Chain A
Amino acid sequence: MSTKQLKLKIVTPERLVLEEVVDQVSLPTTLGEITVLPDHIPLITGLASGDVVAFANGEQIPMAVVGGFVEIKQNEKGETEVAVLADFAEHIAELSEEKIELAKARAEELRKKMEDKELVDFEHFEAELERSLTRVKIADKWRTRKYRK
């Protein structure tokens, strides 16, 4: 293919979730959604919770992400590299029905727990809750759409 492509990497502290060459990618930043095409200028910005959608060969690759950063730069070879540093990331296909139910239940449980929490644990619960809610939301959004597994 002669058209330009960009390198997408999604990393979490626990693992490298995705590394692929794609045509374009849409990211939920703290200031709203942006779409990155090849030759984008170098950019650093915060990442909000939501879905990162990459397009490759006309197919969509959706990933659920929660919080972090996005770094866009040109590497030595002149290719555009997009690094997504998320606290948490998962491919939509990994979010099976069962897991979603689990996440829903967890979110409910956490919400209840939030009422009588200790100060130190609060942050922990908040992060967990956001994670669970994002999973549910993104999974619902993609349930009926077509995407590449």
Chain B
Amino acid sequence: MSNSKAIKNRIKSVKSTKKITKAMELVSASKMKRAVASTLASRLYAGYSWEILTSIAKNTENITNPLFNEREVNKILLVLITSNRGLCGAYNAQIIKKALNLLKQKDSKIQIDILSVGKRGDMAMRRVGKNVIASFFEIPDNTTLTDVVPIAKFLVDEYKTGGYDKVLIVYTDFISGLTQKPNIRQILPISKSSIKEALEDLLDKPEQKTDYLFEGDFNMLIETLAEKITRMQIYQMLLESNASEQSSRMVAMKNASEASGEMIDDLTLVFNKARQANITREISEISAGMASVG
């Protein structure tokens, strides 16, 4: 009897777990939709700012702004975008693995420090004893550009003051609801090829030759543009990562719901068998008793 009661309890608990995973699945599905929509919306702006940047670069040969100039690399700052919460499949594991691989490959003379966005990556990096210089955990799910300002400001300042010679970012590219790919990209110095890479899958515009008139302080214009583009890139990567996180959570939760459904079926079968065995035993006990009395 105690056995069937235990099974009953188990079924109950699996059922409530299933309810939770189902709810999480639905929540992340709707969050993913929103994240994907804002990723797409931000691409237009990114396209335009790239267009302005290329036309500026074409019009003037030598941009002296430090944000564009490559220098000898001694210290690298690695920005790691992960989620704050777990239960999202291999999302965090994948990205952390990518970052660790990168850390291993680099030559030991170059010092690499970490800036973490999201608790998971922060924990993983501290565990392996990396120098984490700053952590940002307060990024909401519906990220706006203002949430990115502190991060971008921090990076640009560190780069400008010469604290770091290169800023790399590890994030997850949202390819589709089922595939997400961890990716590494250089943010600073702004290399033209990396921006082009970032945008080539989004826009395939033929190069336009327009001679623009520039109004205002040219260096100021370039400076603000460079900062905006940096910010924009970080923003986009956060959005991509967010979309990836939600979709991998959705898939993980879907699998969990399915698995718990199967478990409930199995347990119900075991429970019914136990119940039947119980009844059979009781009947045989009764009839045995009757036979001995009669």
Contacts and interface: CB of A to CB of B under 8 A. Distances in A.
Interface of A: 11-16, 29-31, 41-46, 68-69, 71, 73-74, 83, 85, 87, 120-121, 123-124, 127-128
A44 B149 contact: no
Contact of A123 (B55, B145, B149, B228): B149
Contacts of A120: 134, 150, 153-154
B213 A46 contact: no
Contacts, number: 90
Given A44-B56, A120-B150, A128-B146, A11 B48 contact: yes
A134 B159 CA distance: 31
Interface of B: 38, 41-42, 44-46, 48-49, 51-52, 55-56, 134, 144-146, 149-150, 153-154, 208, 210-216, 220-221, 224-225, 228, 232, 235
Contact of B45 (A11, A45, A121, A123): A11
B64 to A, nearest CB: 18
Most A Cβ at <10 Å: residue of B45, B52, B221: B45
Contacts of A30: 215-216, 220
Contact of A14 (B49, B145, B150): B145
Contact of B216 (A11, A29, A124): A29
B216 A16 contact: no
Contact of B51 (A31, A43, A68, A71): A71
A71 B38 CA distance: 23
A124 B146 contact: yes
Nearest to B42: A13
A121 B225 CA distance: 21
Contacts of A74: 210
B49 A69 contact: yes
Contact of A15 (B41, B212, B213, B216): B41
30 contacts: A12-B45, A12-B145, A14-B38, A14-B144, A14-B145, A15-B38, A16-B41, A30-B220, A31-B215, A31-B216, A41-B213, A42-B211, A43-B213, A44-B212, A44-B213, A44-B214, A45-B214, A45-B216, A45-B221, A46-B215, A46-B220, A69-B221, A69-B225, A73-B210, A73-B212, A83-B48, A85-B48, A85-B49, A123-B149, A128-B146
Nearest to A123: B153
A37 to B, nearest CB: 15
Contacts of A73: 208, 210, 212
B67 to A, nearest CB: 16
A121 B150 contact: yes
A63 to B, nearest CB: 16
